[in-house]
Amino acid sequence: MRQRQSSDKQVLAWAKQGFPPGTEAFAYKDNVLAVENVLLPVIAASVGTPFYVYSATVICRNYRAFKAAFAGLDILVAYAVKANSNQAVLKLLAGAGAGADIVSGGELRRALAAGFHPQKIVYSGVGKTAEEMDFALQSRIGCFNVESPAELQLLSARAQALGAEAPVSLRINPDIAAGGHAKIATGKAENKFGIPQAEALQAYALAARLKGIKICGLDVHIGSQIEQAEPFARAFAFAAGLVQDLRRQGFSITHIDIGGGLGIAYQAGAKPPLEPGAYAALLRQYLGGLGLSFIAEPGRFITGNAGALVTKVLFVKPTAAKNFIIVDAGMNDLIRPTLYDAWHEIVPVVAPPAGEPCYQSDIVGPVCETGDYLALDRQMPLMPAGALLAVLSSGAYGAGMAGNYNSRLLVPEVLVEGGRFAIIRPRATYDSLLAQDKIPDWL
Ligand SMILES: *Cc1c(COP(=O)(O)O)cnc(C)c1O
């Protein structure tokens, strides 16, 4: 073959540096990759490929580590359902004591069905509909995070129509740049999220005037995949100042929702990003003395590194430019690489022998889009057709963002705990795919 072999004594990044910190659920046992105590080829033989797999132990461990970092504070850890909304994952977290941060009526139904206590559910998002508000009011959720005066007006109207009272936090946009990519930064003035800080006092005054609205908090979610302390410190300092202003004006602020956004490591050899302990220390430093309770909304931190997407090599296409490793998972299954330029470590399920030569390779899917790739320009050993690859750090914003483009079926999800595994979403079927469409009788 004409692959360009890399010059130095190539050692795969992950082989030299280990897997990204946080992915400890995945480890080789006699050269075969396992999640906890289950070998990935065993799952592949049972469900086929591609599939998502998650470690229940690591999901719970991450939740507990996050919660423990805030020990002594009155905090609700509300898992951001959108990161991974499988009912089994939600039930696991509800059982561990978590709350839920939801962004749609669909997620509210998921959260309630999985057993989250309604009072532990907070509802975020810029575009809640009247129907969604009604259902959330009837369900008596803990708090609405409101993002505009227009939303406040509608929520007030819906609450009055139902004879209910809506507990409200206003999400204020602190104009802070944060997040691993422009598409997941939410806290800059030019982002659609939150109420501009210059209008904060006015918005609280409106909330106080409106019937059916009960002001209880302030929300400052600033973005996702934040790896440094600095943006959080600025957001917390901003929130502390605003709480004091609001209290001086007579508004009763009892809690601060600090949002989500704590980053995780995606690259082998990466320095672990800001840890929950340091994050909690910032919270204590800036907001600890104000007699507040807290809500945090971690998503990625809980599930991201607990999961992987397992895919099979279909073909290898060597070209003059590079090798293309064509696999059976595509951008419709995992959109992060092409949407966010995200890096996922991709490792062979059967470890190649030490010293195996590597080639510059793109790992691409079958979807008819140039943007359909899982990784670009990676050093990979020769992968025979049929070999399995694990795309690490795919437990958050993986399956939940998947779609049917190219009429591809949604892939199964599998949950592992110790030595057992369960299919928590079966592979979709072509019958169900076709049954979604209806042909008018005049055709
Ligand atoms: C997406 C989102 C989160 C979760 O973000 P992570 O980076 O996954 O922790 C939390 N709160 C809100 C409002 C969000 O939109």
Choose which residue among 84, 224, 258 to substitute to test ligand 1 binding: the one with the highest number of ligand atoms within 8 A of its C-beta: 224
Per the prediction, the chain carries an average pLDDT of 95
Number of helices (H), then strands (E), belonging to the chain: the values are 13, 21
Q: Residue 368, Cα to own-chain centre: how many angstroms?
A: 26
Q: What atom in ligand 1 is closest to the CA of residue 223?
A: 7
The angle formed by the CA atoms of residues 385, 391 and 394, to the nearest 5 degrees, is: 150
368 is catalytic: yes
Confidence of residue 187 (pLDDT cuts 50, 70, 90): confident
pLDDT at 382: 86
Mean pLDDT of 206-234: 97
- What Rg do the C-alpha atoms of the chain give, in angstroms? 23
* Catalytic-role residue among 60, 143, 358, 368: 368
Give this prediction's pTM: 0.96
For the domain with range 13-55+304-434, which CATH number is right: 2.40.110.10, 1.20.1250.20, 3.40.50.1100, 2.40.37.10? 2.40.37.10
Order of strands, sheet of 26-29, starting from the edge strand that comes earlier in the sequence: 26-29, 32-35, 38-39
Q: What is the pLDDT of residues 154-179, one digit of tens each?
A: 999 999 999 999 999 999 999 998 87
Class at the top of the CATH hierarchy for domain 56-302: alpha beta
C-alpha pair distances (Å), 310 with each of 169, 253, 301, 304, 363: 40, 46, 20, 15, 13
Report the candidate in 275, 274, 226, 305 with the shortest Cα–Cα distance to residue 19.
305
Q: Is the pLDDT of residue 10 over 80?
A: no
Residue 289, judged by CB atoms within 10 A of its CB (0-12, 13-18, 19+), counts as exposed
* β-bridge pairing 75-80 and 293-296: parallel
Domain segments of the chain as ranges: 13-55+304-434, 56-302
CA–CA dist 304, 392 (Å, integer): 9
- C-alpha of residue 216 to centroid of ligand 1, in Å: 20
- C-alpha of residue 103 to centroid of ligand 1, in Å: 10
Mean pLDDT of 113-137: 98
Mean pLDDT of 193-206: 95
Q: What is the pLDDT of residues 322-345, one digit of tens each?
A: 899 999 999 999 999 999 999 999
Q: What is the pLDDT of residues 46-55, one digit of tens each?
A: 999 999 999 9
- C-alpha of residue 220 to centroid of ligand 1, in Å: 11
Q: What is the pLDDT of residues 56-106, one digit of tens each?
A: 999 999 999 999 999 999 999 999 999 999 999 999 999 999 999 999 999
Choose which residue among 107, 184, 221, 394 to substitute to test ligand 1 binding: the one with the highest number of ligand atoms within 8 A of its C-beta: 221
pLDDT at 11: 60
Q: Is the pLDDT of residue 389 over 90?
A: yes
SS3 of 169, please?
strand
Q: Residue 133, Cα to own-chain centre: how many angstroms?
A: 24
**Ligand 1 pocket list (CB less than 6 A):** 80, 82-83, 101, 124, 221, 224-225, 259-262, 297-301, 396
- Please give the share of the chain, as a percent, with pLDDT higher than 90: 88
